[in-house]
Amino acid sequence: MGIQNTAMAVLACAFGALMLLAMGRSGKFFRAFGLSALSGVAALFAVHFLSQFTGTDLAINPATLGTSAVAGISGVVTLLVCKLILR
């Protein structure tokens, strides 16, 4: 299990670095980062509040909030996929 966690952490760091690089290349880093963070947090809260209908829940804690704020909607989708895979 240790190697899987390490691989997930390395992939998450690489994904985060690519996201930040893409935002920086757009020329409007703070605007892109702010909109990405806002949409990611909104998606996290939507998944959390709709969990009673879908049966899939993501807890709202500092780790999930940080992931959704940095990675945006794709971060929330990644959290959902990881939750389904690691059940």
Count: domains in the chain: 1
* pLDDT tier, 1 (very low <50, low <70, confident <90, very high otherwise): low
- Which is more confidently placed, 82 or 49? 49
Task: Name the residue range of residue 48's domain.
Answer: 2-85
**Token output for 84:** 């389904």
39 touches 64 (CB < 8 A):
no
83 touches 58 (CB < 8 A):
yes
Alpha-carbon distance of 46 to 68, in angstroms, equals 12
- Give the pLDDT confidence of 12-42 residue by residue, as tens digits: 777 777 777 777 787 777 887 888 889 999 9
